[in-house]
Amino acid sequence: MYKILKKEELAESVKRMKFTAPDIARKAQPGQFIILRVNEEGERIPLTISDFDRDGGTITLVFQEVGKTTKLLGTLNEGDSITDLAGPLGKQSEIEKFGKVVCVGGGVGTAVIYPITRALYEAGNEVISIVGARSENLLILTDEMEAVSHRLVITTDDGTKGRKALVTEPLKEILEAEKVDRVIAIGPAIMMKFVAKTTEPFGVKTIVSLNTIMIDATGMCGGCRVKVGGETKFACCDGPEFDAHKVDFDLLMARLNQYLGEEKVSLDRFQS
């Protein structure tokens, strides 16, 4: 039912797939996610919608092959189908004309922030985008981000493309030089933590997506519990986007590592 119309490799172990999913495409909004199941025996995993085409009835997903299900999904090709796609789920991003907005994407998080950046750009905001990765060969969607930004800054840890820096360095310089009305950051938890630390002294509202901690993505398993403003929230139902200055990132990172052992066993079984 859910056919793969297009498959691309964006970077090492990072795939982009376009699926037929007219019902989801009709209702999808930036920031929302889906749950997929590759086959009848497969586990259910959440992936954020990277793009959608209402007229064409398609959605696009970008994923990194890190576990059993993402590696299994990566073996499929154009013309193949998967068993289930459910969504859109989660609260949509807050999109309005804020003024000057900085969108920060780290690694695969750039695919998640892309539709949000586009929506903010189309809403009339002045958009500055910062895209970072460890190396040039891990950067993704830089052309797409440039097309929906008034300015694009590229950083790499090793300096192979753009500026040799962490994303927080140009972000701090922008905050020191210009009035910024909002910052949105999506990427590894450690990156989002330090983006929050960078923006906090300037009093700039900062939003992060905690999509990577989601498991069941329906609020039933409790695996995506996070502490936000001293209260327990569920990333899948209450988010996945939250005020970065209220997120307990240390607890978040500890919970992200909670099932590493089980994940490794599952992956080893699949690969053998």
Instruction: Say which CATH superfamily domain 2-89 falls into.
Output: Translation factors (2.40.30.10)
Higher per-residue confidence, 103 vs 238: 103
pTM score, whole prediction = 0.93
Residue-wise pLDDT tens digits, 203-214: 999 999 998 887
Alpha-carbon distances, residue 69 vs 31, 109, 205, 225, 254 (angstroms):
22, 19, 35, 22, 22
pLDDT bucket at 259, cuts 50 / 70 / 90: low
Give per-residue pLDDT as tens, 131-181.
999 999 999 999 999 999 999 999 999 999 999 999 999 999 999 999 999
3-class state of residue 250 by DSSP: helix
Going by C-alpha positions, the residue among 26, 93, 13 that lies closest to residue 59 is 26
**Fold match between domain 2-89 and domain 100-256:** no
Q: Where are the domains of the chain?
A: 2-89, 100-256
pLDDT confidence of residue 220: 77
Per-residue pLDDT tens for 213-234? 877 777 777 778 899 999 999 8
Rounded to whole angstroms, what are the CA distances from 105 to 4, 200, 226?
A: 26, 18, 21
Q: Do β-strands 14-20 and 58-64 pair in parallel, antiparallel, or remain unpaired?
A: antiparallel
pLDDT tens digit sequence for 79-134: 999 999 999 999 999 999 999 999 999 999 999 999 999 999 999 999 999 999 99
CA distances from 18 to 3, 148, 160 (A): 8, 20, 29
* Measured CA distances, 153 to 130, 145, 146, 177, 197 (Å): 5, 10, 9, 15, 20
- What pLDDT shows up at residue 270? 72
Tell me how far apart the alpha carbons of residues 78 and 159 are, in angstroms, rounded to a whole number.
Answer: 35
For 100-256, CATH number?
3.40.50.80
pLDDT tens, residue by residue, 33-74? 999 999 998 889 999 999 999 999 999 999 999 888 999 999
The pLDDT, as a whole number, for residue 205 is 98
Residue 46: asked if its preceding bond is cis (omega within 30°), the reply is no
Please state, in angstroms and rounded to a whole number, the distance separating the CA atoms of residues 272 and 4: 26
Q: Which residue's structure tokens are 């895209």?
A: 131
Residue with structure tokens 């376009």? 18
Q: What pLDDT is stored for residue 236 in this prediction?
A: 86
